[in-house]
Amino acid sequence: MPSAPPSGPRYYPLSRFWRDRFGTKVYRVTIDAGFTCPNVDGTVAVGGCIYCDNRSFSPNRRLPRMGIREQVERGIGILRQRYGADRFIAYFQAATNTYAPVPKLRSLYDQALTHPDVIGLAVATRPDCVPDPILELLESYARRWYVLLELGLQTIHDRSLDWMNRGHHYDAFVDAVQRCQGRGLDLCAHVILGLPGESHADMMATADALAGLPVHGVKIHNLHVVKDTPLEALFHAGQVPMLERDEYVALVCDFLERLPAGMVIHRLSGDAPPEYLVAPLWCLDKPGLLRAIDAELERRGSYQGIRVRSGAACR
């Protein structure tokens, strides 16, 4: 176990990773290509994930549908004006962005990569929707561009995956990660903390399992309730409690301590626009939450990787 914290931030944020890699600030341009999911259309389930409304996290799904190139140009224009950005990742975000035949995917991805200031591709999907032909397609892009593949892990516990109506189990995630190796892809896992029925030990087991896999990054979310979802009904019925902010801060710090120091932290909380969010309301104050996480790590004298078990995956 390391005996002293590293210099600088106490965890490895995505912004620093991209600056280290590309030598400049890089911003994601979100794209909605109109995909659905196999647990929505009846292929493996119906209704989708219990917590999910794509409009709550995908700005483009709240707007009239535009073409891929138009979405890229609009997003770049906004980011340039707001941040002075000059390099961008085309981020296929809403729903399952590999859920189509290879020729269709190639056409969609090609359109996003035609802009001269787009330097890479990010694709969010499910671990049961990356058959080898699709991974071969992504591998072909990785020979020329940076390619980030985001896979929804959420938890290693199958009972929780069943509760949220994911339509797959943990073994699908492990299989997908193994088949991604050697293809030049950066892998990011999505995780949710605060799932009902999961103890502290259960959540830390997810952290330990993730630390042992060849995954490059993680998005950590708090379970939160958005309007017009099955989770909203359960919440109002008193069946699904939400974490208090202090509880979540402690959990995130415990989770970070168990992740390898080189694993990139893409995000540390989940939220939704005020018009969609039901609970918990504290997640609307993201800057305050991040400050609280930093303060807790400092109070502990702790940092990402301090409790990594021997044998964790090297990257």
pLDDT tens digits along 22-70: 999 999 999 999 999 999 999 999 989 999 875 655 455 546 678 999 9
Strand ranges for 76-216 from DSSP E: 88-92, 118-125, 146-154, 186-193
Q: Which ranges of 189-285 would DSSP assign to H, the alpha helix?
A: 200-211, 230-236, 245-257
Residue 311 has pLDDT above 80, yes or no: no
Residue 254 has pLDDT above 90, yes or no: yes
Strand ranges for 9-77 from DSSP E: 27-31
What's the pTM value of the predicted model, to 2 decimals? 0.93
For 132, what's the count of Cα atoms within 13 Å in the CB-facing half-sphere? Answer: 3
Query: Are 32 and 75 within 8 A, CB to CB?
Result: no
Q: Domain spanning 14-300 has what CATH number?
A: 3.20.20.70
- Residues linked to residue 91 through DSSP beta bridges, in sequence order: 30, 122
Residue carrying structure tokens 């196999």 = 38
pLDDT tens-digit map of 158-176? 999 999 999 999 999 999 9
